[in-house]
């Protein structure tokens, strides 16, 4: 029987490294991008041989900066994806950097069935952009957003970063307004995390403390809502139900295949990932079983499903839990959740849900419900 998955292709290239980023990406030359494009296409064919009865109704090209591949390589990858897994009408998303000249890339993407662009806007004020060391200006962002719509692509998602040095609630409100003005239908808001080994980790930064960061997050939730973006996940917001179908697969524990260095997969109840090495991937290296942070969770376990579902504003519902596991949400989970403050967690006949305040302390809540 035909199975439907999400397909993720990792493109580990960036023009320069942002000082806070620890994603697997580096500055490439043309020959590396050519060789990597070939490796991705080969990998798609090889996986199709392994999963002949599988199709993908979402494709997400992430990174890194996949738009850096340029029109010709992007066309090759999209063609291979269509020839192997990707169905007509699939949600096809490309991450792009607003600093770049994207007209040709977007035109090619649209011609190859591309539906959605996701860009790291990060801020709607120059001060915060500079504090983050981003390559683009507000002018670049406006040009890039216009290029999306000029190419006939209707769906735009923009990211914003929270808890940046010197960032105020007014900056956050300005960014939410700017995302709306640029015509996005989807927004993601992430709290800046200082990752070990990044340039930010080596600097003395005067960052908002935990309470200030929490206030900035709640300001973002409120400001985005005032522009019509309804929160549907801890960090994600959509107008008129324009959620990311691809990312929803992660939170709904639906299957996905990730190709490229550092890309993760969840196929037939098994989680596995490619090593963070482009050389290993291009040499045909295999992914390995994901080390469970996870020692606590058996594969495809109800606990793991519940933990991912609680990231969504819909939460863990009785209906979906019963459809998946053939039983009710365990009483012990309900009882533990019900003992937590109502400002953080809602428990009723529909199931268990976190509030925006609860999302801020989600890990502590998960530890209470699933000890
Ligand atoms: S553009 Fe994105 S992936 Fe590349 S270094 Fe910056 S934050 Fe990381």
Q: pTM for this structure?
A: 0.95
Domain boundary among 192, 224, 250: 250
How many angstroms does the Cα of residue 162 sit away from the middle of ligand 1? 16
Contact 85, 77 (CB under 8 A): no
Contact 360, 339 (CB under 8 A): no
| Token representation of residue 56 | 């993908």
Residue range 315-330: average pLDDT?
A: 96
SS3 category, 347 = strand
By most ligand atoms within 8 Å of CB, the mutation choice from 27, 65, 144 for ligand 1 is 65
User: Please, which pLDDT band fits residue 178 given cuts at 50, 70 and 90?
Assistant: very high
Domain identity same for 236 and 340: no
How many angstroms does the Cα of residue 60 sit away from the middle of ligand 1? 16
By most ligand atoms within 8 Å of CB, the mutation choice from 27, 67, 120 for ligand 1 is 120
Query: How far apart, in whole angstroms, are the C-alpha atoms of residue 345 and residue 365?
Result: 8
| Token representation of residue 88 | 């007509």
Domain identity same for 339 and 200: no
| Token representation of residue 17 | 């490294």
Number of domains in the chain: 2
Residues in the chain: 371
Asked, for residue 324, whether it belongs to a domain, the answer is yes
Domain identity same for 106 and 187: yes
Domain boundary among 199, 221, 250: 250
CB atoms within 10 A of CB 15: 12
SS3 category, 267 = strand
Domain identity same for 203 and 62: yes
Contact 160, 116 (CB under 8 A): no
CATH number at 353 reads 1.10.10.920
Asked, for residue 266, whether it belongs to a domain, the answer is no
With CA atoms as reference, report the closest residue to 280 among 263, 297, 268. 263
Please identify, by atom number, the ligand 1 atom nearest to the C-alpha of residue 134.
6
The residue whose two tokens read 């522009």 is 227
Residue range 177-190: average pLDDT?
A: 98
How many angstroms does the Cα of residue 121 sit away from the middle of ligand 1? 11
CB atoms within 10 A of CB 173: 18
How many angstroms does the Cα of residue 275 sit away from the middle of ligand 1? 19
Q: Residue 1 pLDDT more than 90?
A: no
Domain of 126 in residue numbering reads as 3-250
Q: Residue 291 pLDDT more than 80?
A: no
What percent of the chain has pLDDT above 70?
97
Q: Tell me phi and psi for residue 155, to 5 degrees.
A: -110, 120
């Amino acid at each position: 029987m035909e199975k439907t998955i999400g397909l993720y292709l990792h493109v580990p290239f960036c023009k320069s490294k942002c000082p806070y980023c620890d994603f697997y990406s580096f500055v490439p030359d043309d020959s590396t991008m050519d060789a990597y494009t070939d490796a991705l296409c080969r990998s798609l064919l090889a996986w199709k041989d392994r999963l002949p009865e599988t199709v993908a109704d979402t494709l997400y090209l992430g990174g890194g900066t996949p738009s850096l591949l340029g029109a010709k390589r992007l066309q090759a990858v999209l063609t291979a994806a269509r020839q192997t897994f990707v169905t007509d009408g699939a949600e096809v998303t490309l991450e792009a950097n607003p600093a770049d000249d994207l007209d040709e890339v977007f035109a090619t993407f649209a011609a190859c069935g591309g539906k959605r662009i996701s860009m790291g806007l990060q801020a709607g004020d120059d001060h915060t952009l500079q504090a983050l060391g981003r390559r683009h200006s507000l002018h670049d962002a406006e040009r890039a957003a216009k290029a999306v719509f000029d190419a006939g692509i209707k769906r735009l998602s923009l990211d914003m970063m929270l808890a940046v040095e010197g960032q105020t609630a007014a900056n956050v409100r300005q960014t939410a307004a700017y995302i709306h003005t640029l015509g996005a239908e989807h927004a993601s808001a992430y709290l800046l995390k200082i990752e070990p080994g990044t340039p930010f980790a080596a600097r003395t930064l005067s960052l908002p403390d935990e309470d200030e960061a929490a206030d900035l997050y709640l300001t973002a939730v409120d400001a985005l809502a005032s522009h019509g973006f309804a929160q549907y996940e801890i960090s994600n917001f959509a107008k008129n139900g324009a959620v990311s179908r691809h990312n929803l697969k992660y939170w709904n524990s639906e299957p996905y295949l990730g190709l490229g260095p550092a890309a993760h997969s969840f196929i037939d109840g098994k989680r596995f990932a490619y090593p963070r090495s482009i050389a290993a991937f291009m040499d045909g290296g295999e992914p390995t079983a994901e080390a469970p942070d996870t020692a606590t969770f058996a594969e495809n376990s109800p606990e793991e499903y519940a933990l991912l579902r609680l990231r969504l504003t819909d939460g863990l519902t009785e209906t979906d839990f019963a459809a998946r596991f053939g039983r009710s949400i365990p009483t012990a989970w309900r009882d533990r959740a019900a003992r937590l403050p109502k400002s953080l967690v809602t428990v009723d006949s529909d199931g268990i849900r976190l509030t925006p305040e609860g999302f801020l302390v989600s890990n502590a809540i998960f530890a209470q419900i699933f000890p």
